[in-house]
Amino acid sequence: MKILVPFKSVPDPYAGAGAAAKSVINPFDEIAIEEALRIRERGEATEIVGVTIGAPAVDEQIRSALAMGVDRAIRIDDSRALDPYAISRILRTLVEREAPQVVLMGKQAVDDDSNQVGQMLAGLLGWPQATFVSKIEFLDNKTRAQCSRETDGGIEVIAISLPAIITTDLRLNEPRYVSLPGLMKARKKPIEVINCEQLGVNVHPLTTTLSVASPPRRTAGTRLESVEELVTRLKQEAKVL
């Protein structure tokens, strides 16, 4: 079984406000990479291919993915501000070229917070999808997968035929740290760089971000001294009790 893991470079979500955040692999995609590694480690996958669409600067995150244990990586060289639909159309072409049995990817990129690409890719390919997944088991000689999904109403379990798209939620696993030998090995692993023209896809974003502003901020209110004071304020001032 071959697993394709699309991943995105995003500003570090743990960086404090104001600090210039360094780039990292999107946390949900890191979870996807970790899961692919575990599937390979239990003998159910033979190859893990990472793919990212971005400018040369994202090569640093590609190295991290390779150091975690991804076998080889592809960067689709594109520095435009692409929207999730454009990203999913590029990925569709790559999936057709690589023919994986599973595409394992994050549910959401934590910079744009769109939560669209996996589902769009599944729609374009006509493949089944399991989104927001917290557990994966392969069934029937790896022709199907049973997945637990985190939904608003609690955990839901579905079974899907392969090939399929699976998107990860936070509770699927805890990604490993990159090891020194991993980093050494990563240096020798191949990174293929291609562009959309070479891939034969012609996409243009249909959504454009016109401006980005800081939302209004809440300000600190009143420090209270006791439970009695809190109850009084909630009753008389806030009128919520």
Ligand X SMILES: Nc1ncnc2c1ncn2[C@@H]1O[C@H](COP(=O)(O)O)[C@@H](O)[C@H]1O
Ligand Y SMILES: Cc1cc2nc3c(=O)[nH]c(=O)nc-3n(C[C@H](O)[C@H](O)[C@H](O)COP(=O)(O)OP(=O)(O)OC[C@H]3O[C@@H](n4cnc5c(N)ncnc54)[C@H](O)[C@@H]3O)c2cc1C
Residues within the interface to ligand X (CB under 6 A): 6-8, 26, 28-29, 52-54, 84, 87, 105-106, 108-109, 112, 114-118
Phi/psi of residue 166, each to 5°? -125, 125
For 2, the 3-state DSSP assignment is strand
Asked whether position 56 contacts ligand Y by CB under 6 A, the answer is no
Q: In terms of C-beta density within 10 A (0-12 exposed, 13-18 middle, 19 or more buried), how is residue 146 classed?
A: middle
Task: For helices 84-98 and 117-125, give the axis angle rounded to 10 degrees.
Answer: 50
Which entry of ligand X, ligand Y, other proteins, none binds 6, CB below 5 to 8 A by partner kind?
ligand X
Residue number with the shortest CB distance to ligand Y? 27
* Complex with ligand X: residue 114 or 134, whichever CB lies closer: 114
Residue 214: CB minimum distance to ligand X, A? 21
Q: State the angle between helix axes of 180-188 and 59-68 in degrees (0 to 180), rounded to the nearest 10.
A: 120
Length of the chain measured in residues: 241
The reply to whether 27 sits near ligand Y by the rule CB under 6 A is yes
Supply the minimum distance, in Å, between the C-beta of residue 47 and ligand Y: 27
Shortest distance in whole angstroms from residue 89 CB to other proteins: 9
Nearer to ligand X, 72 or 233 (CB): 72
CA–CA distance, 178 with 165 (Å, rounded to integer): 26
Instruction: For ligand X, give the closer residue by CB, 52 or 173.
Output: 52
Q: C-beta of 126: minimal distance to other proteins in Å?
A: 7
Is residue 216 reached through a cis peptide bond, with omega within 30 degrees of 0 on the bond before it? no
